[in-house]
Amino acid sequence: MLILGLAALLAMSAVTLAGEQGRGPSAEGFDRLADQLDRGELVITTSADAHRLLDQLKRQIPPGDVRRELRYRYLFCIMAMDGDPAAGFAYAEKGLADARRAGYADAEINFHFCRGANQESLTTARDALPDYDAGIEIARRTENTRLVADGLTWRGAVQSLLGEHARALVDFLEAQKFYDSAGEAIESEQNLFNVAVAYRRIGERREARGYLDRLMALGIQRKDLPQQMSAHMELGFLDSEAGTAELEPARAHFVAALQIARSIGSHVAQGSAHLGLAEVLNQMGDYRGALVELAAARTEHVTTRDQSDDDMLALQEGEAYAGLGDHRKAIDDFNHAQALLRESGNLRYLAELLDHRSRSYEALGKTALALADLKSMVKVHQALDRKAQSDTSTLMSYQFDTARKEQENRKLEADRQLRDEQLAALERIRRWQRAALALGGVLIMLLLWQAQRQLRRSRRLHRMAMTDPLTGVANRRRLEEVGAAAVDQARALGQPLALIAMDVDHFKAVNDSLGHAAGDRVLVAMAAVCQGALRQVDRLSRVGGEEFVALLPGSSAADAMLVAERLRVEVSALALDELAPGLTITISLGVTELRPSDRSLDQLLRRADRALYEAKKLGRNRVEQLLD
């Protein structure tokens, strides 16, 4: 896979290229330079650098050499066609047809990858998957493991972008096995960048930051501006997703990425940096500044004819206009973004859109539409939760299968060595030894099967022990386990931690008048709407009959007050007519946050309970926070 911007063997390459300048066509010179470009061994900072090296490569093509000409063309397609996706797509199409006629599988594979990359910019990332799958299939059929690994990284990047993080990580980890075993240091390093992005998107911030900090340091050490720019972009996204406390560092990362993008003349990267800045400014409440950045991003996208971020441009414009109070314009932008997001299938941003649009509808007095959006948002969050569970299952299955295969490989290797040694000394009993080895293999498989079965059973029992059977949220035992860890982490890292205690008002009256079955359905509905309104990192637990607790890592008391108010409003908006006409419920909530003097979760729980009691005392259906 071609990886722009990585520097290895730079001094040697510079001497070699200088010696080859001015010479005529040379198959040896072509192959040497093409290999360096293909493996990313040359530092390519600007588009001019890429064109200069490609011109040198073109001059080395021997006359009439169809295969080397095709190799030059697919390198040109990947390296030099990133400014005009429509032209790049057409160029890849013609190259693909020519490669098929020539029977040159490697070129066919790479033109599939190039066409997919341009397809991402022309429409959506999802539309590029058929090309990446086709390239991988041809590479597997021709047993070209290097191009299989390259294709897995192309496909994994799209899957990660679309929210298929487990599938993406499986692809990246499979590719990593090849790069590590083949000693491909440059590709291995770039693939670690892919792994970092996937970890960020599944919320594993610490792992993602570790990879990104390492890649940033390497980029600075080698003066590799594109790698520094990419690391700044991903660190910007990482910090912007961490909450209000990290917004200023996020803004600084996007500004740094924009400066590098301008210096290397990448309009695509400039558009992405402007868009990232707009998202951060919206979160900071600088809506006019966000609109300025969005206008700049649109200009860059028009220059490159890149439509891949049209959904995010519309979404961020909607949020900016909503923040400025122009809710009608905001709704128009949200509607446009929704159509595009449904095409791309990005549920996380769809949930964000529904949340913001419901607020605009509410501001315009269109409560029915606002409620419809909130209900849709709950369904989207439920789908995201199901997807997260599926991702976890996929990763655990992959990790278990990988460990099992490695164990089997080690065992087989040990058996082979033992068999060879025994055959050399005990030729007469060879048949008995083989029978014993075969029996040992059967026993090992039986033991592995039994171990896998026991592991699944243990995990199922653990989940049951930690989950409230009625509502499906965590129970008190799980809260104590997660809460203790959250307190320790918050104190160690100096981060805020908030806790919300909530209780259904007059719940006994619901049970007495409608029966306990109806009361159970009320609790299930309330838990669902609260779970949907919280972030993925937040933890909702049922700690009593109608008592719930929400743990909010990284959130201050001020943040938690806003969240609690949103929970109160959304619960009061629950439609429960199917249980009893006109039935509504309300909740009272108490908020607190971790204090320097706190040493355990119990102190937060007691303080939140006192705040909850105060809310009940002051009339219910309200949020209170203890100030003493």
Q: How far apart are the first and last CA of the chain?
A: 60
Q: What is the mean pLDDT of residues 107-111?
A: 94
Among 137-146, 197-206, 531-540, whose mean pLDDT is lowest?
A: 197-206
More confident call, 88 vs 2: 88
Alpha-carbon gap, residue 472 to 481, rounded angstroms: 17
What's the pLDDT at 23? 57
What's the pLDDT at 193? 80
User: Which pTM value belongs to this model?
Assistant: 0.49
Give the domain ranges of the chain.
476-625
More confident call, 455 vs 482: 482
Alpha-carbon gap, residue 601 to 477, rounded angstroms: 12
Residues near 249 by beta carbon (within 8 Å), at least 6 away in sequence: 235, 239
Instruction: Examine the pLDDT at 357 and tell me if it is beyond 50.
Output: yes
Q: With both helix axes pointing from N to C terminus, report the angle between 105-122 and 66-80 in degrees, rounded to the nearest 10.
A: 20
User: How do residues 386-406 score in pLDDT, each as one tens digit?
Assistant: 776 666 666 656 555 555 555
Alpha-carbon gap, residue 338 to 547, rounded angstroms: 36
Helix H or strand E encompassing 478: helix 476-493
Q: Which two tokens stand for residue 591?
A: 């908020």
Whether the Cβ atoms of residue 118 and residue 305 lie closer than 8 Å to each other:
no
Q: What is the mean pLDDT of residues 311-338?
A: 93
Helix H or strand E encompassing 499: strand 497-504
CATH number of 476-625: 3.30.70.270
Q: Which two tokens stand for residue 374?
A: 């909130």
What's the pLDDT at 527? 94
Instruction: Examine the pLDDT at 488 and tell me if it is beyond 50.
Output: yes
Burial of 542 (0-12, 13-18, 19+ CB in 10 A): buried
Q: What's the chain's length in residues?
A: 628
What's the pLDDT at 474? 92
Question: Mean pLDDT of all residues in the chain?
Answer: 85
What's the pLDDT at 4? 33
Instruction: Examine the pLDDT at 519 and tell me if it is beyond 70.
Output: yes
